[in-house]
Amino acid sequence: MTRRGRRAVYRRALPLGIAFVAALAAPAFVAYAVDAGGWPPGPVDTRTAGPVATRVAGPGAAGVPGPRAGSSIRAAERPLPLGVSAAEAQPAPPATLTIPSIGVETQLEHLAVRADGTLAAPVDFARAGWFADGPAPGERGPAVIVGHVDSRDGPAVFYRLAELVPGDPIEVTRSDGTGARFTVTDTVQAAKDAFPTQAVYGPTAGPTLRLITCTGQFDRAARHYLSNLVVFAAPA
């Protein structure tokens, strides 16, 4: 059985599992053993309690000073270099996108919103583009990268986007040479007039990535596809 077939079967089964879990209603949460004897003996020096108001910075971060009362709260924000969804403060803009499983290797244009409020597509059918007014890949929030599925003549950069399955790796390199790695978590198809705006552009706890292309029926009068395909990805 192919990966895709296997995944599709699980996709059908998953809602049942979710419904089962949801039926558990409010989560039980029980503290059942506070062993005061487990504490290190002797007085605790609160000065070693580490930085106040910083995100966890891992070992060695205790020397990071906390903000003084009256200082900007924004100064309290620090990234977390741990094995969880660590977001970077201000990563450099993305330069290239690589998706090995579907043979995509493209430079990235910078995309803006047009006068009518919609997001512009890349000028070059062979290149993808990054929504430059949104988060950069690796920054907290959803980074959005858009590519054409086809041109007027043939396949374009995201022609094979629909082949992506959960777990497929996506790599972004940035203008400063650093990189960010993601893995595909989900794929959604939606009519453009019912575009899942909140799922695509809405808040995420960590740095996430969305890849968008076209799909569905083609309106030959307007010369546009009627649906979008969105691939959701999370940090690898």
Partner 1 sequence: MMIEPRTDRRARRPGRLAAAVAAVAGVAGALALAGDPASAKAAPDVQLRVAHFSPDTPPMDVYATGFDGKEQLVLPKLGYGQVSEYMPLTAGVYAFSMRPAGSPATDEAVLRISADLAARTSYTFAAFGRRAELNTDLLTDDLSAPPAGQGRVRLIQAAIDAGPVDVSASGGPPLARGADLGEVGSYMAVPAGDWTITADGESADPVAENLTVEAGTVSSLVVLDGDGTGRLQIIRVTDAAGATAALGAAPAGGVDTGGGALAGDGTPADAAGAGGALLATSAGLLAVLLAVGTTGRLRRRRAA
Among 92, 127, 160, 171, interactor with partner 1 by CB under 8 A:
160
Give, in order, the Cα–Cα distances in Å from 233 to each of 31, 71, 213: 35, 36, 14
Among 41, 59, 63, 177, interactor with partner 1 by CB under 8 A:
59
For residue 195, what are the β-bridge partners? Answer: none
Q: How many CB atoms lie within 10 A of CB 168?
A: 18
Nearer to partner 1, 56 or 92 (CB): 56
Residue 19 gets which letter from DSSP? Answer: H
Segment interacting with partner 1, rule: CB under 8 A, options 93-101, 170-178, 185-193:
185-193
Segment interacting with partner 1, rule: CB under 8 A, options 90-98, 172-180, 209-217:
209-217
> According to CB under 8 A, which residues from 19 to 58 bind partner 1?
20-22, 24-40, 44, 46, 48-56, 58
Among 97, 172, 229, 233, interactor with partner 1 by CB under 8 A:
229
Residue 15 gets which letter from DSSP? Answer: H
Give, in order, the Cα–Cα distances in Å from 158 to each of 82, 179, 229: 32, 21, 10
Among the listed residues 133, 129, 149, the one whose alpha carbon sits nearest the alpha carbon of residue 141: 133
Alpha-carbon Rg for the chain, nearest whole angstrom, is 22
> According to CB under 8 A, which residues from 90 to 149 bind partner 1?
113, 116-119, 121-122, 125, 131, 133-135, 139-144, 146-149
Nearer to partner 1, 38 or 177 (CB): 38
Segment interacting with partner 1, rule: CB under 8 A, options 68-76, 90-98, 171-179:
68-76
Nearer to partner 1, 36 or 177 (CB): 36
For residue 233, what are the β-bridge partners? Answer: 184, 209
